[in-house]
Amino acid sequence: MSTKIPHKSVGSDDDLHDRILKNPALVLEDPSIMRALISMADTGKGGNVVDLRTIALDRLEARLSRLEDIHRSVVAAAYENLAGMNQVHRAILRMLDPTGFEEFLRDLDGEVAAILRLDCVRLVLETALGGEDPAVRRLSDVLSVAEPGFVARYLDGGREVVLRRIAPDAGPVHRGRGAGIRSEAALRLDLGSNRLPGMLVLGSKDPHHFRPDHGTDLLAFFGAVFERAMMRWLS
């Protein structure tokens, strides 16, 4: 059903007429005005007819479409967060299974990395002692040692978690099976009093796997559990 709006009625308020022409949303977005205009549709006469119901429905459909897009985005984000949480929980349970330190570290770059869909996991421990420990040579693909201060520099001044894209084969952390890593999450490890800090580095060949705009809560939780597991082996 339609109603007509004359170009300019006799005796109409010129200022109101001009305001409506300049900004039709004043009418279209006011529910009470729209109801009043639509209710007069059956009394409208003449050739200049505007279907206000169609206009109102078009605007409602546009708003509904926007709401549906927002709903889909919220649901997708919720599923992604839930999937990420499940992955981290499964990885932590696997990380707590080994009964030996070497098995613990190898699992870190094996089963744990596979659960988290990573291409490599590296553990860096700072030490003030010179020379190379034979245990480090045996686990060179997973564990490496660095001089004091290395972790703070790598984490851009000592931040707790850093997510970023990196150039292929950048830096001393990624090597061996970690070649071609394009993004990483670097987690600072507090290994207790009287011990130098460590760092856990998670790497992916996907440049978008870790981005600075991603949340870090789950990674921080994973790092906190890893700290406690490491302190058990170091004690």
Query: For position 141, which CATH number holds?
Result: 3.30.450.40
* Segments forming the whole domain that contains residue 81: 76-234
Q: Judge whether 70 lies within some domain.
A: no
Q: How far apart are CA 3 and CA 24, in angstroms?
A: 16
| pLDDT at position 135 | 53
Q: How far apart are CA 189 and CA 185, in angstroms?
A: 13
Question: Burial level of 193, CB count in 10 A (0-12/13-18/19+)?
Answer: exposed
| pLDDT at position 39 | 66
Q: Judge whether 2 lies within some domain.
A: no
Same domain (yes/no): 100, 196: yes
Partner residues linked to 145 by β-bridges: 125
Q: Judge whether 71 lies within some domain.
A: no
| pLDDT at position 188 | 94
Verdict on whether the full-model pTM lies above 0.85: no
Same domain (yes/no): 229, 159: yes
| pLDDT at position 138 | 60
| pLDDT at position 140 | 60
pLDDT along the chain (235 residues), means of 10: 46 71 76 70 52 70 81 73 84 89 87 92 84 57 86 85 82 68 92 88 91 87 92 81
Q: Judge whether 102 lies within some domain.
A: yes
Same domain (yes/no): 131, 107: yes
Beta-carbon contacts of 183 under 8 Å, excluding residues fewer than 6 positions away, are 163, 164, 165, 166, 203, 204, 206, 207, 208, 209, 210, 211
Same domain (yes/no): 91, 151: yes
Same domain (yes/no): 37, 108: no
In 3D space, the residue among 201, 210, 222, 189 whose CA is nearest the CA of residue 92 turns out to be 222
| pLDDT at position 5 | 47
Same domain (yes/no): 61, 39: yes
Helices (H) and strands (E) in the chain — how many of each? 9, 7
Same domain (yes/no): 198, 156: yes
| pLDDT at position 11 | 44
What pLDDT digit, counting tens, does each position of 96-150 carry? 888 888 888 888 888 999 999 999 899 998 988 765 555 555 656 788 888 899 9
Same domain (yes/no): 155, 216: yes
**Cβ proximity of 127 and 195 under 8 Å:** no
The mean pLDDT value of the chain amounts to: 78
Q: Judge whether 158 lies within some domain.
A: yes
Q: Judge whether 5 lies within some domain.
A: no
Q: Are strands 161-165 and 3-4 parallel, antiparallel or unpaired?
A: unpaired
- 64 C-beta neighbours (distance < 10 Å), count: 10
Q: How far apart are CA 101 and CA 76, in angstroms?
A: 39
In 3D space, the residue among 94, 214, 125, 130 whose CA is nearest the CA of residue 165 turns out to be 214
Question: In total, how many domains does the chain have?
Answer: 2
Q: Which helix (H) or strand (E) holds 203?
A: strand 198-204
> Tokens 């981005």 sit at which residue?
211
